[in-house]
Structure formats: structure tokens, C-alpha cells
Structure 1
Amino acid sequence: MLYLIWILAFNQMLQVVGSNFFDPTSVIQISWKPRAFLAKQFLTDFECNHMIHLAKDKLEESMVADNESGKSVKSEIRTSSGMFLMKGQDEVVSRIEDRIATWTFLPKENGEAMQVLRYQHGQKYEPHFDYFQDKNNQALGGHRIATVLMYLSDVIKGGETVFPSAEEEDNDGGLIKDDSWSDCGKRGLGVKPMKGDALLFFSLHPSAEPDPMSLHTGCPVIEGEKWSATKWIHVASFEKQRPKSSGCVNENDKCEEWAAYGECKKNPAYMVGTPDWPGACRKACKLC
């Protein structure tokens, strides 16, 4: 009896805080062209809510990579708001990164920092590729080979991820498109955002050539709000050179505001820094 009670308590704990364990039987094959797979309940409710909490006060207008220069620029193509978490920012983020590496069989160091995004009514991301068109972005880590898109919230209607160039399966990978799907979501191979689910798709063929069928779009949100977290993974290591501390400065205009809300204690890795990475708001956190 005590053993059964311990097992039930342990399973309940895993549902709350998550673990590095990944269940491959939770994966649904969505498509082979492009290669796309959906993992049901990849994240726990706690993990979804935790990432939203880390991001919600630090959102800025989303950018896209310019095809010529590789620099991040504003564009009507992408109308969400978002921010980047630090790699290994805390135990929860690090555990999710480990789970992604387990699922994809791609090294953890090949991944970029996770980007948390919020899409409000009417906001969308028009059709685009995740592999790079410019050589500047390919210089570090090479092409993006795969993307793991994690849905942090349910969306009442809209916000689907659609592959307009995909060769559709007869049953859409077992996904039923009912009245909760938007017209945009019904126009091709698509996935409806459901809290905790994660979509893995490959932007390159096994030969490492770009796959044009990986073209994808984020449909406009019609009702509700969409939160997601994206992990882009490269063909090689994406570990950027660690910067040396540049003194006691604020590297973001919102540092003082965040410090006033207590973020120096709530989010010390970003605000104050770690032994390997100086914080962005050291002056606001009164380190000098």
C-alpha cells in the first residue's frame, strides 16, 4: 500500500514539474514531405505557465532576418511580440532543452535560445522558411536543420501552424479539422495550438539540402490569445562566444522598470547574470 501511494505521488509530481523523460509513443506523424511530427503533452501545464511568466513582462515587437544582410528587421510579415530566454536560464528551461535533445537526437549545444512569442487578435506570421537565405546567419552553426514549436496555451480559434506546400496525408496525421479551426488552418496541412503540445519539423532534407516543402505559416488568431516557444536547432554547435563583463550597465531600456517589479530576484540569470554571462540589467539591480 505504501509503495502504491509513493508511485501515485511521484507520478503527480512529474505532471506538475516535468522531467527529462520523453515518451516516443506520444508522437503523431503529421507528414513526411516535409518531415513533421506532433508530440502530445510534451510540456506540463506548470512548464507552459512558467515560460509565459518569464516572458510576459519583457515582450518586444518581433523581428525577422533580412535575406540580404541577415540582420533582424521589423516586418509586417510577422506581427507578434516576443523575447528570448537564456539557454539554461533555470532548472525548468534546462530540463525542457534536455527533453528536446532527447526527442530530436540533435545535440543540446546546436540549439538557439528559446524564443517565447505572444500572438493577439489578428496577429500572424506569413509563409516563411526557417533555414537561412543569407551567409551571415549561416556562419554560426550553419543552417537551421529543425524547429521545435511548443504551444504554451490553447487558442479558441485561429493561430494554427500550416504547411501550404506539404504533400497532405489522407487523414492529416489523424487531426480532425472541426469548426474550431479557422479558414486559414483548413487550407493545407496544419496543426491546431493545444497547450503542452509540441511540433517538430525539419527544414533540411537528410542530405542537408534545404527542403522547400518546409514553408510554413502561423495563421492569424481569431479568438483568444496564442503563446508559443520556439527552439531552432542548427546542423552544428550554436554556442556563441561568452562576452566579457562590460561593467555595471543597463543593456535594455526597460531594465529600471523590470527592477522595480522585482525581476532582479525573480529572474537573476537575465538581470544580474551568471559566472559565464553578465546580466543585462546590472545597473538597475544596483550592483554598482
Structure 2
Amino acid sequence: MTQIATPALREWIVQQTAAGFSPEQVLSAMVAAGWEAGVAEVTLETTLRDYLRSRAPGADAAVAAPVAPLKASAQAAKSAAGTVPVPTMDLGQSPRMLDAGDRQVTVLSTLASPRVVVLGGLLSDEECDALIAAARPRMARSLTVETKTGGEELNESRTSSGMFFNRGESELIQRIEARIARLVNWPVENGEGMQVLYYGVGAEYKPHYDYFDPAEPGTPTILKRGGQRVGTLVMYLNEPERGGGTTFPDVGLEVAPQRGNAVFFSYDKPDPSTRTLHGGAPVIVGEKWVATKWLRQGVFE
């Protein structure tokens, strides 16, 4: 299929560049939208070059800075369109236990596609209680990321209450973040702040994806803070009497919420083919507290 650079596309490229997005980010967005990486690279380079020349005829030196990184960007964009490195655990020899630094964590079950790992004893009872106690005074109605603008919004599909800890804000948070980083072989600084959520009876989070949809106009703004999400870790801080499991509808899997346990899953591209559609089933009896850690491609700031 021939791909043609329309005037509207070229105008969009100029607008995104003028808004402060790097050539790498613009190129990745084009590839994520379906452009072949090589075609996107040429289109982006010629568009920027023509635009700069129209503003300052003969100023070839001014073109070099924004255009020079594009060869490397093309390779990065190909990775963005396909697979990228993701957090992972060393499961090569089917271990029963994993070394998380200050704690041995049990491998309860694994799934290859999507890559899901259910972990036992990631948190102690005391850590679960401490997270709930620290979070409780700061709870508010949960928001979701608004990918049309890059902001946040109330969403009727998410009926929990929640709050975020700043990364490393206390000794407790630092200890857990270091444990997670070692467990999934991913830098602490690539993690978002830990979120604690509370679900009462009937509260749920309907099935969704954690990555940011490349087709949404607000996604480039979101990606400026660390790139795409590539992994999720949900930690259970208590046990509702009934309901409240973490569901994966595409593969018919439900993980029961058990105190101190966790479920980890990763996704190597922002696409439904990863089969990482998941949700929080309604709480039927009791209440549910969870802590969620999202992991980004790069440093989250």
C-alpha cells in the first residue's frame, strides 16, 4: 500500500515540532499510527527541512539539529511499532522462589501470552497495613488518564477511591520500590508513583489497557514523562470476602486478591494484540485495597 504525505500530515508534523515534541517522538507517533518507519522518516525529514528553509532560506545549518537524529529515530520507531524491552523476571529454570533483595517471593503461577506472573508474599502483613494506614487520609475518587488532552478525568468505568505516593517519599515506599525494581529487573526511576486504591461493595474497574493509546491526541504529552507504560504490578493489601479479582478477559484468567500477593504483567507494544486487557471485578462482600505500580520505558519525572 502506497502511503502519501498529505498537506494535513505535514502541517501536523510542523505543529507537533513547534509544540516542543522531539523528532523521535513525532516519528514514533507516526509509526504507531500505521506509517512504515522508513517512509515516516523521509516524510518527517523533508517536512522539517522544507519548513525551516521557508522560514530562513539557505539556513541549512539550522536544519541539521532537528534532522540529524532521525536515522536513530527510525530504528527506535520500528521498535515502538513492534516490540520494546520490558520489565521481566528470571523464570528460565521455572523457579519456585525469586530473590527480591530483602525478601524471597514465591512464584505461584505464570502465563506466557500475555506474560502474567502471580506472586506470593511480595509484601508482609505489616507492610500491607502500613500502606493502607498511610493512604487512608489521602483518598479521593479515582481518576483516569484523559488521553485526548493528556490530563485526568472522572470515569464511570472506575468506581474506586485512590491516591498516589510520590516515588521514594518514605522509607516504606523506598523499600517496596527497591524490591520491585530488583524483582522485575527495571530501574526504580522508571516507575510511576505507587497508587493505592480502595474498592467498597459494588466498586469495580471495568476492563481496560494500561498503555496509552497512540491514536489519541493527548498521548504525546503523556509520553514526555517517561515514555509508554510497559508493565503493571498490582499488589493486594487485604482480602475481600467475595469478588474483587483481577480479570484478564481475553484469556479467561482471574487472579484472586490475597493479602501480600501480587500479579505482574508486561506489554511490549501499545496494542490489543498484547492481550493485556484487564479489569478489577466488582467487590461482592467486604472491601478491597490494592497498590499498583506502573512501569515506563524511560525515567518517569
Note whether the superposition's TM-score is higher than 0.5.
yes
Q: Does 1:93 align with 2:173?
A: yes
2:291 aligned to 220, 224, 229, which one?
A: 229
For residue 102 of structure 2, what is the amino acid of its counterpart?
Answer: F
2:279 aligned to 217, 222, 225, which one?
A: 217
Counterpart of 1:69 in 2: which secondary structure? Answer: coil
Q: Does 1:136 align with 2:217?
A: no
Give the corresponding residue for 2:207: 127
Please tell me whether the aligned partners of residues 20 and 95 of structure 1 are also in contact (alpha carbons under 8 angstroms): no
For residue 254 of structure 2, what is the amino acid of its counterpart?
Answer: G
Please tell me whether the aligned partners of residues 203 and 210 of structure 1 are also in contact (alpha carbons under 8 angstroms): no
Q: Does 1:21 align with 2:83?
A: no
Q: Give the Cα–Cα distance (whole angstroms) in 2 for the partners of residues 211 and 230 of structure 1.
A: 23
For residue 152 of structure 2, what is the amino acid of its counterpart?
Answer: S
- Larger RCO: Structure 1 or Structure 2 (Cα < 8 Å, ≥ 6 residues apart)? 1
Counterpart of 1:214 in 2: which secondary structure? Answer: coil
Please tell me whether the aligned partners of residues 22 and 102 of structure 1 are also in contact (alpha carbons under 8 angstroms): no
Counterpart of 2:233 in 1: which secondary structure? Answer: strand
TM-score (norm 2): 0.63
For residue 214 of structure 1, what is the amino acid of its counterpart?
Answer: T
Give the corresponding residue for 1:258: none
Q: CA deviation at 1:57?
A: 1.2
What do the CA deviations read for 1:70-118 (whole angstroms, capped 9, x no partner)? 2110011100001011211211111100000011101100000000000
Aligned-residue sequence identity (percent) comes to: 40
Q: Give the Cα–Cα distance (whole angstroms) in 2 for the partners of residues 211 and 227 of structure 1.
A: 30
Q: CA deviation at 1:28?
A: 2.7
Q: Give the Cα–Cα distance (whole angstroms) in 2 for the partners of residues 74 and 22 of structure 1.
A: 37
Structure 1: tracts of 5 or more residues without a match? 1-18, 167-187, 241-288
Structure 2: tracts of 5 or more residues without a match? 1-99, 214-218
Compare CA radii of gyration and give the structure with the larger one. 2
What do the CA deviations read for 1:33-88 (whole angstroms, capped 9, x no partner)? 11010110110000000000001111000011123112110011100001011211
Give the corresponding residue for 2:14: none
Give the corresponding residue for 2:10: none
Cα–Cα, structure 1 residues 104 and 132, in superposed 2: closer, same or farther, change >3 Å? same
TM-score (norm 1): 0.66
Moved over 4 A (4+): 208-211
Please tell me whether the aligned partners of residues 20 and 96 of structure 1 are also in contact (alpha carbons under 8 angstroms): no
Q: Give the Cα–Cα distance (whole angstroms) in 2 for the partners of residues 139 and 53 of structure 1.
A: 33
